[in-house]
Amino acid sequence: MLTAHATLDPAFRIAPVDRRLFGSFVEHMGRCVYGGIYEPGHTESDTDGNRLDVAELTRDLGVGVIRYPGGNFVSGYRWEDGVGPVAERPRRLDLAWRSIESNEFGLNEFMAWTRLAQVEPMMAVNLGTRGIQEACDLLEYANHPGGTYYSDLRRAHGVEQPHDIKLWCLGNEMDGPWQTGHKTAEEYGRLAAETAKAMRQVDPGIELVACGSSNAEMPTFGTWETTVLEHTFEHVDYISLHAYYEQHGEDRASFLGAAAGMDRFIEGVVATADHVAARKQSRKRLNLSFDEWNLWQQSRFAGHTNLDWEQAPRLIEDTYTVQDAVVFGSLLMSLLRHADRVSIACLAQLVNVIGPIRAEPDRPAWAQTIFHPFALTARHAVGDVLRVQTATDRYDTAEHGDVPLVDVVATHDEETGQVTVFAMNRHTEEQAKLDIDLRAFGDLVVAEHLHLGGTDLDAANSIETPERIAPTGVAGATTEGRRLSAALPPVSWNMIRLVPAGR
Q: Which of 14, 22, 23, 27 binds ligand AHR (CB under 6 A)?
A: 27
Size of the site for ligand AHR (CB under 6 A): 11
Residue 303: count other Cβ atoms within 10 Å of its Cβ.
Answer: 9
User: Got the DSSP string for 184-216?
Assistant: -HHHHHHHHHHHHHHHHHH-TT-EEEE---SST
Residue range at the interface with ligand AHR (CB under 6 A); choices 69-77, 299-307, 437-445, 476-484: 69-77
Asked if 181 and 75 touch (Cβ cutoff 8 Å), the reply is yes
Residue with Cβ nearer ligand AHR (128 or 329): 128
CA angle centred on 150, ends 145 and 151, rounded to 5°? 15
Instruction: Assess 126 for contact with ligand AHR (CB under 6 A).
Output: no
Instruction: Assess 138 for contact with ligand AHR (CB under 6 A).
Output: no
Euclidean distance between CA atoms 242 and 174, whole angstroms: 12
CB of 173 to ligand AHR, least distance (A): 5
Residue range at the interface with ligand AHR (CB under 6 A); choices 70-78, 137-145, 271-279, 328-336: 70-78
Residue range at the interface with ligand AHR (CB under 6 A); choices 66-74, 105-113, 157-165, 196-204: 66-74
Count the alpha carbons within 13 Å of 229 in the hemisphere toward its beta carbon.
30
Residue range at the interface with ligand AHR (CB under 6 A); choices 52-60, 65-73, 205-213, 462-470: 65-73
Q: Which of 72, 254, 330, 461 binds ligand AHR (CB under 6 A)?
A: 72
Provide the terminal-to-terminal Cα distance of the chain, rounded to the nearest Å.
34
CB of 348 to ligand AHR, least distance (A): 4
The residues with which 404 forms a beta bridge, in sequence order, are 394
Question: Which among 246, 292, 360, 480 is annotated as catalytic?
Answer: 292
Residue with Cβ nearer ligand AHR (102 or 240): 240
Three-state DSSP class for residue 310: strand
Q: Phi and psi (nearest 5°) for 240?
A: -90, 165
For residues 202-221, which are near ligand AHR according to CB under 6 A? 214
Instruction: Assess 173 for contact with ligand AHR (CB under 6 A).
Output: yes
Q: Phi and psi (nearest 5°) for 278?
A: -65, -45
Find, among 343, 221, 236, the residue nearest to 282 by Cα.
236
Instruction: Assess 94 for contact with ligand AHR (CB under 6 A).
Output: no
Burial class (CB in 10 A: 0-12, 13-18, 19+), 128: buried
Instruction: Assess 101 for contact with ligand AHR (CB under 6 A).
Output: no
Site string for ligand AHR, 313-352 (x = CB under 6 A): -----------------------------------xx---
Residue with Cβ nearer ligand AHR (86 or 218): 218
Euclidean distance between CA atoms 59 and 57, whole angstroms: 5
Residue range at the interface with ligand AHR (CB under 6 A); choices 67-75, 233-241, 258-266, 273-281: 67-75
Evaluated on CA atoms 103, 104, 108, 110, the torsion sign reads negative
CB of 76 to ligand AHR, least distance (A): 11
Residues 6 or more apart in contact with residue 466 via CB below 8 angstroms? 366, 367
Instruction: Assess 172 for contact with ligand AHR (CB under 6 A).
Output: yes
Helix axes 371-380, 52-61, angle to 10 degrees: 50
Residue with Cβ nearer ligand AHR (368 or 418): 368
Question: Which among 39, 80, 173, 225 is annotated as catalytic?
Answer: 173
Site string for ligand AHR, 407-446 (x = CB under 6 A): ----------------------------------------
Instruction: Assess 70 for contact with ligand AHR (CB under 6 A).
Output: yes
Residue with nearest beta carbon to ligand AHR: 71
Euclidean distance between CA atoms 269 and 58, whole angstroms: 30
Residue with Cβ nearer ligand AHR (70 or 189): 70
Residue with Cβ nearer ligand AHR (138 or 348): 348
Is position 317 annotated as part of the catalytic site? no
Is position 194 annotated as part of the catalytic site? no
358 φψ region: left (φ > 0), alpha (ψ -120 to 50), beta (else): beta
For residues 249-278, which are near ligand AHR according to CB under 6 A? none
The residues with which 452 forms a beta bridge, in sequence order, are 493
Counting every residue written for the chain, the total comes to 503
By the criterion CB under 6 A, which residues form the site for ligand AHR? 27, 29, 70-72, 172-173, 214, 292, 348-349
Give me the active site residues, please: 173, 292
